[in-house]
Structure 1
Amino acid sequence: MNSKSPIKGRGAQKNVHNRFFELSHEIRDDFLEFCYKEQEEADKNKTQFIDVFPKTIVNKVKSPDVGMQYSMNPYQGCEHGCIYCFARNTHEYWGYSAGLDFERKILVKKDAPKLLEAMLKKKSWQAYPIVLSGNTDCYQPAEKRYEITRKCLEVFLRYKHPVAIITKNALILRDLDILTELAKDNLIAVNVSVTSLSEETRRVLEPRTASIQKRLKAIKILSDNGVPVNAMLAPLIPAINSHEVLPLAKAVSEAGALSIGHTIVRLNGAIGEIFTDWIHKTLPDKAEKVLNQIADCHGGTLNDSRYGNRMRGEGNIAKQINDLVTMARFKYFKGKKMPKLNTSLHAQYKSGQLELF
């Protein structure tokens, strides 16, 4: 690997400085060039799985514009490597970089099912939908190895508690048996992220995710089995996938999705530097156009933290994208609607079985 070679299978192409650290670590181009000439590996590019032991697993979501009040994440960091991922910034809280560390140092919470069960059994807990993957994908590649998400779903089923899932991995179909049981009592909603119909676009934006065809197939199989699916067209990135709104909406509707959601990309915190470095290396011909159009959607900056504005943007380009989504809903989702999750059963199952007396 020399200084100009992209890192295969990764979104970020470097680690960036952790804002909480005084010191920083840098891999210099002259070192990379030396390794290349000596035919040595400067970076083995391996994923590391690290056990962590949090005291709680369910988080109260304070942001007013994300559409959830409680979330839980069996894993921190995500091997999917989506270059735009807002969750990258949270890896700094664990002492790592939001860049390559986010994709290669995966924190594993093996105690998540036990922590979840303990919380659901609390007398003070009132049932409210908990979202799996409010931050990082619960069906990322690590799940095939650890099965933490499946064990958590078993807990939700045992206690008849509503749960929602956000994912872009077809691995969710492994747990179709549990999902269909949850659906019988209206206890499950699935959100499948579909960002492009182009595999070429998908590979550069989301290098280790399931193919688009596998995601569409997952939507169809889930829908055919009575599991309600919302498709997330997110994020929409000007000059990369924003022109695909209508064909994306048509494809997910035909696959069985009951609704769509969307966001316009925003590059907060360290993500602005990571994305800028990435696009100049992977899509150099359109790099400045994309960056300028993203900035146009957020008042002239890549970084937009304003509640109410940050997800939808502002200005002419943002308006065009948002109008396309409105048109897509009218054209492809008329008469369709995601059901409201059932919160009425859980109180009867606090002990793990139906209380008759």
Structure 2
Amino acid sequence: MFDWLIVGAGFAGATLAERIATVRGERVLIIDKRDHVAGNAFDEQDAAGILMHRYGPHIFHTNSDAVFAHLSRFTKWRAYEHRVLARLADGKMVPMPINRTTVNRLNDLSLVTEDEVEAFFNARAEHVAEIRSSEDVVVSRVGRELYETFFRGYTRKQWGLDPSELDKSVTSRVPTRANTDDRYFTDTHQFMPLDGYTAMFKRMLDHPNITVMTGTEFGAIKGKVPYRRMVWTGPVDEFFDHRHGKLPYRSLTFKHETLDREWAQPCGTVNYPGEEVPFTRISEYKHLTGQVNAKTTITTEFPAAEGDPYYPVPRPENAELYKRYEAMADATPDVWFVGRLATYRYYNMDQVVAQALATFRRIETSVPLRSANDATGLVATGA
């Protein structure tokens, strides 16, 4: 008998499982169809002993003191500031996001102040009456040439759509700087879990009130395991059997390679914005983890239309379709929908944790605790 069934052992599910078990003292069954916990953040040592990420690099960063403090209960940290270079078709490597160094290297300039760089951008920026698309965001800030160099091809590969067809939120995530700050993120807290993400998740779920079942589909236990309430972190349209049609997601495939040399590239990630290659980026894990090893492991990412859902596709018609599922979710009693896939939002890891913690606060105020002798209200998973 379980008080809660949680479907999905990623950040959303694991955060809620731990809070429910620890604070409320309730019994939780958490399942995942994959053979491991930690969701897309899952990491493991490969044959060379290098800690690598099976689903591509995950770099933790947040401005939330509360999220950082919460996760610090389950891990020590290694300070790490992520840096990215863009490799252009001519082989030139320049910092990404665009900053003063990028502008100087591309144009053989020697701009020295932020005002000079802003003047450079302003001279090339195109007036856009209303910024709606991802293309509008970039050309209105830095002009057509930098847009073509860094954003158009990369976005077309990543999303299978032209930036003019995507919501402005996509390229708005990538800043443009007039200084020489070459960090990809500027958040207050920038760290990697010292022992890896998987170790952090295992500590999070190591509680006598939590039962973990990996390699378990929801359908395999539906109607067989009794529970009172559910947290769903999978695709919201899947929960409702795609009643209104499938919500579009982008997927990824990964090529993992261990190379017989100490280093492969000068920083954690190198982006390939041009359409002359089919992949978007290559990441090298030793930069992230600080490991010392005579060999190195890299991952090349290939965007895909089919496969595991990774990214909700931000277009107006998709947002409208999601609203239909959201209305169904809101009307479903005793089921809480949490996470990137369940709420069809392009969240970072820290945002998922924040959403899960906020959901727990709502549970605390709206869901009464069951007394130890109360065996009523249990349902056989499928109601």
The answer to whether the superposition gives a TM-score over 0.5 is no
TM-score of Structure 1 vs Structure 2, range by shorter chain: under 0.3
Q: Which has the higher contact order (CA 8 A, sep 6+)?
A: 2
Structure number with higher helix proportion = 1
Structure number with higher strand proportion = 2
Q: Which has the larger radius of gyration?
A: 2
